[in-house]
A = this chain, B = another copy of it.
Amino acid sequence: MKIGLDMMGGDYAPKATVLGAIAAHKTLAEGQKLVLIGDSQVIRDLLEENNYSADGFEFVHTTEVIGMGEHPTKAVVQKPDSSISVGFQMLKDGKLDAFTSAGNTGAMLVGAMFSVKTIPGVQRPAMTTIVPKLKGGLGILLDVGANADCKPEVLVQFGVLGSLLAQSVYQIDNPRVALMNIGEEEEKGNLLCQATYPLMKESTQFNFVGNVEGRDLFSDMADVYVCDGFTGNVILKMAESFYVITIKKGLKDEFFDRFNYEQYGGSPILGVNAPVVVGHGISSPEAIKNMVLLCRDMVETNLVDQFKKAFQP
């Protein structure tokens, strides 16, 4: 297994990515190779600085970097030798089994869709985030921003994607899929939810448990929460801000600790033909390590093959 890591992506790269690569390397089993994509000399210097042998890694040298603020489509096209572009090219060519970066999220989305492409039958790939449950354990929220506007059929597909992710990577048995709405009853909600509910109810591809509301997100009413990417992004950023506030206030609590994105690594892009994980811009070495391990879990559980099977006509 070969996992490609963008060494130039993220606010604290390449320092954080090198330290994260070292931490990941210590955890990965033999045969699980980490391919470091970026400025090889800089990376080798940093490894040496940290007294860590470069022998355990593979290196792919790149000369360009896509910045956090760059226009995704333009950047991917105009910087073919950027770490993100090269990573996706390798993923497409089968030289990598997974690719992860804490860099420009838009470029990662565009790169994934341009290179490995969407799985046949999947209308729109989705991005997910983890939501901790008050009683312990976790839930999955999707989409969190890849698709600001969604059709009902797309939300139903998110149910399939989220359900398979929950089952495979997070070992949640028969995951309960809920529709994020503003009322419990079937007829409640905006036009999108009203049209989505009956389709989800009919679906035999996942265990639909009905509507939930904003207050239920941290409860144990469901394992997968489906919404459009606008709603999901607002929820994600609001939850992040709550976490930041508890940190600032010095409020220590194991529940709030579980909001820490670092331990989840990053957000997988679900519905493309290879495992791709996008990290938070502020990713620390711990986060980078867990992005790599999430890639490994997605490869090991054959998540993409499961998606392909679920969406084959």
Contacts and interface: CB of A to CB of B under 8 A. Distances in A.
A245 B218 CA distance: 9
B213 A234 contact: yes
Contact of A245 (B190, B214, B233, B255): B255
Interface string A184-219: 000001110100000000000000000001111110
Contact of A214 (B180, B234, B249): B234
A253 B249 CA distance: 8
A180 B213 contact: no
Say what secondary structure dominates the interface of chain A.
helix
A41 to B, nearest CB: 35
B190 A215 contact: no
Interface residues of A, number: 38
A230 B148 contact: no
Specify how many copies of this chain sit in the oligomer: 2
A172 to B, nearest CB: 21
Nearest to A188: B148
A309 interface: no
A238 interface: yes
A50 to B, nearest CB: 33
A253 B255 contact: no
Contact of A234 (B182, B245, B246, B251): B182
Contacts of A189: 148, 230
Interface in A15-49: none
B231 A180 contact: no
A216 B234 CA distance: 10
The 3 closest A-B pairs by CB, nearest first: A214-B237, A214-B238, A148-B190
Contacts of A70: none
B234 A191 contact: no
Contacts of A233: 182, 213-214
A235 interface: yes
A241 interface: yes
A57 interface: no
Contacts of A72: none
Contact of A215 (B214, B227, B231, B240): B240
A10 to B, nearest CB: 18
Interface centre among A148, A217, A245, by most B CB within 10 Å? A148
Contact of A236 (B214, B218, B251): B214
7 contacts: A145-B182, A148-B190, A148-B191, A190-B228, A193-B230, A214-B238, A214-B241
Given A134-B245, A145-B182, A238 B217 contact: yes
Contacts of A218: 241, 245
